[in-house]
Homo-oligomer: A and B are copies of this chain.
Amino acid sequence: MITVDQRQFGRAVKFASSVVGKRSTIPVLTTVKASANGALHLDGTDLDTYARASLPYDGDEAEFLIQSPSQVAAAVKKAGAETVSFDRRDKELRVEAGELVADLSHTMHADDFPTMELIAEETFGALVDASLFRLLERVRPAISTEETRYYLNGIYVHAIGDGAYRFVATDGHRLFVADAALPGASGEIAEGVIIPRRAIEKVIGQFAKAESARFVLGRTVKSNQPDKTLAPSAHPSRAGFTAEIDGVRFELATKLIDGTFPDYTRVVPAEHKFAMRMARADLLKAIKTITPLSSDKTRALRLTALRDGLTLELQSPDFGKSRFPVAAEHDAPADFYIGLNAAYLLDAANAFTGETIEFGLDDPGAPVTITDPDDGGFKVVQMPIRV
């Protein structure tokens, strides 16, 4: 029998089960595997992402599966006790938490649970803080969900020199680019890697609360050719994130997307003819005020330069026409206009954090660059649409 703190268990099982599907053609993948050996490891996986939470326990060595882990966590939380204990008994798992006694089915075999493909050998490692996870969250909206171009279904990370790294996502309609310095990183990112969206989302949810965490790239097995100059281990196959939060160690490892990220630099305009500068809050207010007045599919905002600012207009066959002004400084010619997808523009404006936002523009058919004059570390390129 093993006993653990109920709150730690709740956080640990929530993390481990966050990568687990409720249904799977492989039933054991709906479970969380518990291994008590020095620490209690709770493991969950969908064979692409591996999540392990490790916490202290009292008791003997043990190994068992928690079938329906989310429901077990919900029940022991409601039971309201300080601790929860587990006792594996042949075809049953006895769970006790305060006055709750549950003899849960244990019909699957722990041996059938897949090996956790965690990172055994690092090719790159950096100590990071919450700012990296905020950065991932800023870039995330541009990740493509289109499966045919699978190499766009993640965030592309590559080194740009001087200990700085670039994080890029695009769905072909917009491109979000963020730069971060990772001081004291060990190893290097020789070629860029693509971290899949699912892992990014789990990581943002879990690690944003950590005071510090590690971001690593590496391989699941140790290289046994340590002295070869061009070791096959140089190119990582996994990305990982680890952090300890309130006594529980969280570790997430994900397969990298095996594909080539397109040369995004080709779509980033080097310079623009005109610039428009406005308060980000004004732009957000204008977008949010007029976008309700359209049906979903036709949300093309027309942005027109006026002498003393600009106006956002939205025309919808069902709703009619609405407009809202935005105070702006610009050097575009009178009556210059461009069409932009309202939802994408909203994502872009929300991804910035500063007070001011600047649009770089050329002509109505050319991509728009959106930047913050006070923060060179984040940039959006958005393709225009016809209006």
Binding site for B on A (CB under 8 A): 67-68, 71-72, 74-75, 78-80, 92-93, 95, 99-105, 285, 288-290, 292-293, 318-325
Contacts and interface: CB of A to CB of B under 8 A. Distances in A.
Contact of A104 (B78, B92, B320): B320
Given A99-B324, A319-B67, A320-B102, A72 B285 contact: no
A87 to B, nearest CB: 13
Contacts of A318: 67-68, 105
Contacts of A74: 292
B290 A322 contact: no
B324 A293 contact: no
A360 B50 CA distance: 52
B104 A290 contact: no
A101 B322 contact: yes
Given A75-B289, A93-B320, A102-B319, 18 more contacts: A67-B318, A71-B292, A71-B319, A72-B293, A75-B322, A78-B285, A79-B289, A80-B289, A92-B320, A95-B322, A100-B324, A102-B293, A102-B321, A102-B322, A104-B293, A104-B319, A104-B320, A105-B320
A108 to B, nearest CB: 12
B102 A288 contact: no
Nearest to A294: B71
A67 B103 CA distance: 57
Contacts of A67: 318-319
Given A78-B288, A288-B78, A289-B78, A103 B71 contact: no
A261 to B, nearest CB: 37
Contacts of A292: 71-72, 74-75, 78
A285 B80 contact: yes
Given A290-B75, A293-B71, A103 B320 contact: yes
A282 to B, nearest CB: 10
Contacts of A325: 99
Contacts of A102: 290, 293, 319-323
A103 B321 contact: yes
A99 B99 CA distance: 61
Contacts of A104: 293, 319-320, 322
Nearest to A75: B292
